[in-house]
A and B are shown apart, each in its own frame.
Chain A
Amino acid sequence: MMREIDVTEQKGKRAWQTVAFSLLGLSALVGFLALGVILYVMVREGASALSWDFLSQFPRKMMTEGGIYPAIVGSFYLTVGAIVVSLPFALASAIWLSEYAHGGVWVRVVRVGVNSLAGVPSIVFGLLGLAFFVKVLGLGISLLAGALTLGLLILPILIRAAEEALGAVPMSFREGALALGATKWYAVRTVVLPSAIPGILTGMILGISRAVGETAPIMFTAAAFYMTRLPETLSDKVMALPYHIFVMATESPNYYKTRSLQFGAAFVLLGMVMLINLGAVTWRARVRRRKQW
């Protein structure tokens, strides 16, 4: 016997669904809201501190006046260093995982390694940098030690991004190259890698934005509170934007005088990271749409 459809029951179910979906939408909205509020406050308070002098001058008078030029330059050096250190290993790891390895214990071990490394807190990387790069290798608190530490930190990010990019290249590309008599490496170098380059670059950009914003790993390995000149060699200490923000916010002797400087520095860092990320994300979306292979 068929049960007759109860109209009120159907309506009740619909009502529940509406309530539930609204609540779900609301919880999704919290994320947007947080992003919106943070961006709004930072832009409102920080934009007024922004000027060419602020970006291009050294701090003056115990960092109560002047700009953040050396911190920007320091962050740039650290980030470039981290990428230079990390990218070759990340690329090679991704190529091996995606092109050469076909299952097996070692693949699983490497994957566990990459995942574990990705979960290690950044301050623990700082401790490693201190114990190994600074002390054991005798690099001292320096640009080089900081770049190496940051390089280790972004290694899993770069590996995952590069592996994803390589994995997105269709099998038929490789088969075509191999069928024409190319060796494995020749096929990878001339066919697979060029097709994967946009994806690899977006991953690299995301790694850059991570490295720019990290504070804890460079606290004991590279960062200087205040410098009167730019770093000239790899063994110099550097000022870095995130560390500068931290120090200004927690140890500044004159809060009211430096408030707008602090917001300005935070605004610059946030703006840089957001722009880099936004660029990477939209570019990735475009590449994915365009490449239907």
Chain B
Amino acid sequence: MRTRRPRESEARAVAGPPLDLRPVVQAGLRGLIQMIKERWDRPVFLALASASLVALGLLVFFIFREAAPVLREIGLLSFLGPHWNPTGDPASFGALPMIAGSAMVTFAALGLAVPLGYGAAVFIAEVAPGWLKDVAKSALELLAGIPSVIYGFFGLMVVAPFFQRAFGLSTGRTALTAAVLLGIMALPTVASLAEDALTAVPNSYREASMALGATRWQTIRRVTFPAAFSGLIGAAILGMGRAIGETMAVLMVAGNAPQLTASFLKPVRTLTGTIALEMAETPFGGTHYHALFALGALLLLTTLVTNGLAEWLRGRLARKHGR
């Protein structure tokens, strides 16, 4: 190896006392500037990419912070009680009617949306010819794009009067009306996610089944559908999360009576509806205000759990088929 003869300046720096660090510092600074110029992008994008985490953190922090006083001011047990009368004397903040109302409407909606959504998904993914597939997917996307206030308005003006006449009710704003509307609203979500799940099943599965002499329907029923099962369940659960959190449509057609009932022909009130109805009229920082945030916290928690579960199930499908 060839060794370089030390330059004069270097030799002086090593040998002599007038130690001049300026060139070193300058070179260092130039290097630093160069590095910032070339390498600024990764950390900056990483920081900005954390925006959704920050947003999620803000949501969790503020909703729970405003909900926490409920434990002290009302108590967990009476917060889960059966009477909701926030302006009464004495006021009572039992959220059970709303929890029951939300559950009732949501599950009934799923009873409509899941079978129809799965059916539509199988049709689009497995049966329909190419052009119809595109049309059907676009229609689902358009249906999903209709704002919920329009669904609510349509429900109020058309569906509620129809049910009122059909069942001879005093009001058409019932749990049933809300459930039917919600079912139609959840349909595109369930259908398009279920279609994703079916499409994720490798074609070799279908080919193997057909090669054994199965008809297309047998293949769907015995091979494709079971293979996509975890993704299909994930689709239903995501639809459920969507339905629980839906506000405007339900608010406009559910009737909003905070009562415990098992009848679908009576008005019910949901968690979302209660927040929307009462938040504007309640003073900031009071017990009522905190109770409404507690309903929100309940909603947030439910949707985070259902969402996480659904994503895990959907991911499991992808992992299983090696994609």
Closest CB-CB distance, B159 to chain A, in whole Å? 10
Please tell me which one of the listed residues B148, B156, B187, B279 contacts residue A249 in the complex, with CB atoms under 8 A apart: B156
**Known contacts A27-B119, A123-B296, A250-B252, A117 near B45 by CB under 8 Å:** no
B152 within 8 A of A: yes
B174 within 8 A of A: no
B205 within 8 A of A: no
**Known contacts A28-B119, A215-B247, A38 near B150 by CB under 8 Å:** yes
Question: Would you call A273 and B158 a contact (CB within 8 A)?
Answer: no
A112 within 8 A of B: yes
Q: Mark B93-132, 1 if CB is under 8 A from A, else 0.
A: 0000000000000000000000111111011100110000
Please tell me which one of the listed residues B140, B220, B280, B307 contacts residue A115 in the complex, with CB atoms under 8 A apart: B307
Q: Mark A202-213, 1 if CB is under 8 A from B, else 0.
A: 000010011011
A227 within 8 A of B: no
Interface of A is mostly: helix
**Known contacts A26-B119, A215-B248, A119 near B143 by CB under 8 Å:** no
Q: Mark A249-283, 1 if CB is under 8 A from B, else 0.
A: 11000000000001100100110011001100100
Question: Would you call B66 and A216 a contact (CB within 8 A)?
Answer: no
B258 within 8 A of A: no
Question: Would you call B303 and A120 a contact (CB within 8 A)?
Answer: yes
Question: Would you call A116 and B304 a contact (CB within 8 A)?
Answer: yes
Q: Which residues of B contact A110 (CB under 8 A)?
A: 49-50, 52-53
Interface residues of B in 46-90 (CB under 8 A from A): 46, 48-53, 55-56, 58-59, 62-63, 65-66
Q: Which residues of A contact B13 (CB under 8 A)?
A: none
Closest CB-CB distance, A208 to chain B, in whole Å? 11
Question: Would you call A119 and B307 a contact (CB within 8 A)?
Answer: yes
State in angstroms the CA–CA spacing of A118 and B122 once bound together.
Answer: 25
A54 within 8 A of B: no
Q: Could you say which of A56-64, A128-136, A171-179, A228-236 contacts chain B?
A: A128-136
Closest CB-CB distance, B28 to chain A, in whole Å? 21
CB-based nearest A residue for B48: A92
Count residues of A near B (Cβ-Cβ below 8 Å).
91
Question: Would you call B280 and A220 a contact (CB within 8 A)?
Answer: yes
Interface of B is mostly: helix
Q: Which residues of B contact A270 (CB under 8 A)?
A: 146-147, 150
Q: Which residues of B contact A249 (CB under 8 A)?
A: 152-153, 156-157, 252
Interface Cβ pair total, 8 Å cutoff:
273
Please tell me which one of the listed residues A20, A121, A136, A210 contacts residue B245 in the complex, with CB atoms under 8 A apart: A121
A127 within 8 A of B: yes
Interface residues of B in 119-177 (CB under 8 A from A): 119-120, 122-124, 127-128, 134, 136, 138-143, 145-154, 156-158
B238 within 8 A of A: yes
Q: Which of B55, B143, B217, B299 has the most CB of A within 10 A?
A: B55
Closest CB-CB distance, A101 to chain B, in whole Å? 8
Please tell me which one of the listed residues A121, A130, A132, A206 contacts residue B279 in the complex, with CB atoms under 8 A apart: A130
A114 within 8 A of B: yes
Please tell me which one of the listed residues A28, A100, A269, A285 contacts residue B46 in the complex, with CB atoms under 8 A apart: A100
CB-based nearest B residue for A132: B62
Question: Would you call A121 and B238 a contact (CB within 8 A)?
Answer: no
Question: Would you call B156 and A127 a contact (CB within 8 A)?
Answer: no
State in angstroms the CA–CA spacing of A113 and B59 once bound together.
Answer: 12
State in angstroms the CA–CA spacing of A26 and B50 once bound together.
Answer: 44
Q: Mark B238-266, 1 if CB is under 8 A from A, else 0.
A: 10011011111001100000000000000
A239 within 8 A of B: no
CB-based nearest B residue for A86: B51
Question: Would you call B216 and A17 a contact (CB within 8 A)?
Answer: yes
Please tell me which one of the listed residues A127, A156, A266 contacts residue B150 in the complex, with CB atoms under 8 A apart: A266
Q: Which of B46, B62, B66, B153 has the most CB of A within 10 A?
A: B153
State in angstroms the CA–CA spacing of A101 and B45 once bound together.
Answer: 10
Q: Mark A187-226, 1 if CB is under 8 A from B, else 0.
A: 0100000000000000000100110111110011000000
Could you show 17 A-B contacts with beta carbons less than 8 Å apart? A21-B127, A28-B123, A34-B143, A38-B150, A42-B150, A92-B44, A110-B49, A110-B50, A110-B52, A113-B53, A114-B52, A117-B59, A119-B306, A159-B52, A185-B40, A249-B252, A285-B138
B contact residues vs A (CB 8 Å cutoff): 38, 40-42, 44-46, 48-53, 55-56, 58-59, 62-63, 65-66, 115-120, 122-124, 127-128, 134, 136, 138-143, 145-154, 156-158, 184, 187-188, 191, 215-218, 220-221, 238, 241-242, 244-248, 251-252, 272, 275-276, 279-280, 284, 292-293, 296, 299-300, 303-304, 306-308, 311
A contact residues vs B (CB 8 Å cutoff): 13-14, 16-17, 20-21, 23-28, 30-32, 34-35, 38, 41-42, 45, 88-89, 92-93, 95-97, 99-101, 106, 109-110, 112-128, 130-132, 135-136, 152, 155-156, 159, 183-185, 188, 206, 209-210, 212-216, 219-220, 242-243, 245-246, 249-250, 262-263, 266, 269-270, 273-274, 277-278, 281, 285
In the complex, the 8 A-B pairs of residues with the closest C-beta atoms, listed nearest first: A121-B245, A213-B147, A27-B119, A92-B48, A119-B307, A96-B49, A17-B217, A96-B45
A28-B120, A216-B148, A274-B145 given; 18 more Cβ-contact pairs under 8 Å = A13-B217, A31-B140, A38-B150, A42-B150, A45-B157, A101-B49, A109-B53, A110-B50, A116-B307, A117-B52, A121-B245, A122-B245, A123-B276, A124-B59, A127-B66, A132-B58, A249-B157, A273-B145
